[in-house]
Amino acid sequence: MDTFGLSILKGIISFFLHPLTYITIIGAFMLGLSRVKRDRRDFHTRVHDVLDDVPFAIIPGLLIGAAFLILNLLLGLTVPFSTTVAMSLGAFLLLVTGQIRFLSPAFVFILPTLATFFYTPIDLGNDTLNTMQEGIGNASPFALAILVGFLVFMEGLFITMNAGKQTSPRLVESKRGKLVGAHEVQRLWLLPLFLFLPVGQVELFTWWPLLDFGAGTYAFILLPFPIGFRKLIHHALPLPEMKSNGRQVALLGGATVLIGLVSYFLSNKWIALVAIILVILGRAGILLLHRGKNKPAYFNERNKGLVILGILPGSPADQMNLQVGEVISKVNGLPLGKGVDFYTALQRNAAFCKMEVLDVNGEVRFEQKALYNNTHHELGLLFVKENRFEEQEEAQ
């Protein structure tokens, strides 16, 4: 038991010694900086705090990583250390080149899969580099297929549970050159990935681990595994779009796990390779499916009413029962639309605001709030149309 506990402790320490842990956190901070810069360009104000992306990167990963740790303690998914190096290198290349939309486990695993099936170690003139190549061709394709399936499944959970929170409103040009609204999702999740290494002092039991990949003794490693996601949504509400996207990714990951298990029990490595190829193609297909490139914009100017593109956190509007995507049709009895300024209607009553709101289901309701200390100038609602007026006034 002492050997077992010491091996796990060494695995945990390896997580904090790995440079990818800190590169991912810095990357999340940089995403926050770029987001705030776009907010100020589009709306002349910050929507969410620059540090918000950091807890989004860490907390969900800790929760899902802890669940996978418990699961893999039983399963025993085992890969050589050289395979973890290939995984880290693939993730690092996608991360530092800014290709966040492709930082999916499905694409990260292209490099370790190619190395497992086709790479022959060569002398790189350095003992450390040569050691990192050892065993790369001995990685179990069954373990790779099952592992990438679990990782893609966890990616789907991240997207479903977390990606739709605090999306960032944007202003973009449509194909016709008109100003339309959109919501951008940029996320980096840091997953502590618990894996078995086929070297060490921990001996297997008669029943443990449940999956045997040919190692006589084991060590443990806690590998920092970054998962990225980026999507610009202009054709739909962000939350239901993210849930749909996440469910499809999770389903793809679950199917890959099942195919990988079939390949393991049949001892057929080509089925495992097919599973990995299918998850790569399937993930690329989901990216293409959710582009929404030729669909009409949801956040656009309308003849009647103004669509809420964003709500500033902590603002008076945030305290009201308003939601992104709803349409404000009247303010203080004055119908809104083309040629009618929201704040002009708001100032008809400097002390009180009454709105007629059309929700996303097409039902009408009324919202009202007392205004104090010139809060009518800082209500905290973001519209496509209002921002255009502000830019025109500043230019004059």
Q: What CA–CA distances, in Å, run from 167 to 34, 43, 241, 286?
A: 14, 15, 12, 20
pLDDT digits over 87-110, tens only?
Answer: 999 999 999 888 899 999 999 999
- pLDDT bracket for residue 376 (50, 70, 90): very low
* Spatial separation of the C-alpha atoms in residues 117 and 256, rounded to whole Å: 19
Average pLDDT over residues 103-121: 88
Give the tokens for residue 345. 């209607």
* Spatial separation of the C-alpha atoms in residues 301 and 329, rounded to whole Å: 12
Q: What letter does residue 96 receive in the DSSP assignment?
A: H
Residue 99 pLDDT? 86
- Cβ pair 324, 311 in contact under 8 A: yes
Average pLDDT over residues 162-189: 85
Superfamily of chain region 306-395: PDZ domain (2.30.42.10)
Residue 116 pLDDT? 82
- pLDDT bracket for residue 164 (50, 70, 90): confident
Decide which of 304 and 322 is more confident.
Answer: 322
Residue 373 pLDDT? 57
pLDDT digits over 196-253, tens only?
Answer: 998 877 877 777 888 888 777 888 999 999 999 999 888 888 888 999 999 999 999 9
Decide which of 138 and 183 is more confident.
Answer: 183
Domain boundaries, the chain: 2-289, 306-395
Q: Who's near 26: CB < 8 A, 6+ residues apart?
A: none
Residues in the chain: 396
* Spatial separation of the C-alpha atoms in residues 217 and 338, rounded to whole Å: 72
- pLDDT bracket for residue 292 (50, 70, 90): low
% of the chain exceeding 70 in pLDDT:
92
Average pLDDT over residues 342-352: 76
* Spatial separation of the C-alpha atoms in residues 306 and 379, rounded to whole Å: 15
Average pLDDT over residues 315-324: 85
End-to-end CA, the chain? 75
Q: Is the pLDDT of residue 394 over 70?
A: no
Q: Nearest Cα to 85, choosing from 272, 279, 223?
A: 223
pTM for this predicted structure: 0.89
Q: What CA–CA distances, in Å, run from 311 to 170, 208, 383?
A: 12, 52, 9
Decide which of 86 and 217 is more confident.
Answer: 86
Residue 348 pLDDT? 77
Q: Who's near 176: CB < 8 A, 6+ residues apart?
A: none
* Spatial separation of the C-alpha atoms in residues 317 and 381, rounded to whole Å: 6
Average pLDDT over residues 2-14: 82
Residue 393 pLDDT? 36
- pLDDT bracket for residue 374 (50, 70, 90): low
The DSSP annotation for 3-38 comes to: HHHHHHHHHHHHHHH-HHHHHHHHHHHHHHHHHHHH
**Alpha helices, H only, the chain:** 2-17, 19-43, 53-75, 81-96, 105-108, 110-118, 127-133, 141-158, 238-266, 269-289, 316-319, 342-346, 384-395
Residue 201 pLDDT? 78
Residue 391 pLDDT? 38
pLDDT digits over 253-286, tens only?
Answer: 999 999 999 999 999 999 999 999 999 999 999 9
Q: What is the mean pLDDT of the chain?
A: 85
Q: Is the pLDDT of residue 368 over 90?
A: no
% of the chain exceeding 90 in pLDDT:
42
Q: Is the pLDDT of residue 392 over 70?
A: no
Q: Is the pLDDT of residue 136 over 90?
A: no
Average pLDDT over residues 66-94: 92
